[in-house]
Amino acid sequence: MFEVLMYLFESYIHTDVDTMVEQDELADELSQAGFQKQEILKALAWLERLAELQEAEETPAWAMSEPGSFRIYTQEEMFKIDAEGRGFLLFLEQIQVLNAATREIVIERLMELDPPEIELDDLKWVAMMVLFNVPGGESAYHQLEELIFEQPEGAVH
């Protein structure tokens, strides 16, 4: 499923192509690109749920926190998102790329992915997908994009 999401993000979202495509048309295109129907349906459902989370009129209770509070992960979350991934999420909060609500959406979307454990690169892409779709999140998206794609200056030894 993650490969389908990456394909969609790179083909439609990240390239500024018109994203108003019918779901059936999109499923056909993905099928022609070689993706399995089950994976396509999972990816489209994943994106639908992302849209629902971001279009909610009220902030869900799970997405609210007090300033200075600390996120405690469940056992399932700790198994799926390793210490490096959790540390990266904390880092993104500390530099204000993520807030409590977007952090929770990222975690919720990560938990819906197929692999039992999430790689750091996959976490970064999910965070980008979430921030890209958050109304008013352009600045945070671009900041994360710079963090991910910025090449270190100077000679590499």
pLDDT in tens, 82-105: 999 999 999 999 999 999 889 999
Which of helix, strand or coil describes residue 145?
A: helix
Query: What is the structure's pLDDT at 156?
Result: 53
As a whole number of angstroms, the distance between CA 74 and CA 13 comes to 32
Task: Compute the distance between CA of residue 133 and CA of residue 122 in angstroms, rounded to an integer.
Answer: 17
CA dihedral sign, ordered 44, 115, 15, 107: positive
- Domain layout of the chain by residue ranges: 2-149
What are 20-57's pLDDT values in tens digits? 567 888 888 899 999 999 998 998 888 888 888 777 66
Residue 101's SS3 state is: helix
Distance of CA 134 to CAs 20, 60, 72, 139, 157, Å? 17, 15, 24, 10, 39
What is residue 138's predicted lDDT score, i.e. its pLDDT? 86
pTM of the model: 0.80
Q: What is the pLDDT of residues 60-88, one digit of tens each?
A: 555 566 666 788 999 999 999 999 999 99
User: Taking Cα atoms as reference points, which of 111, 78, 88, 98 lies closest to residue 139?
Assistant: 98
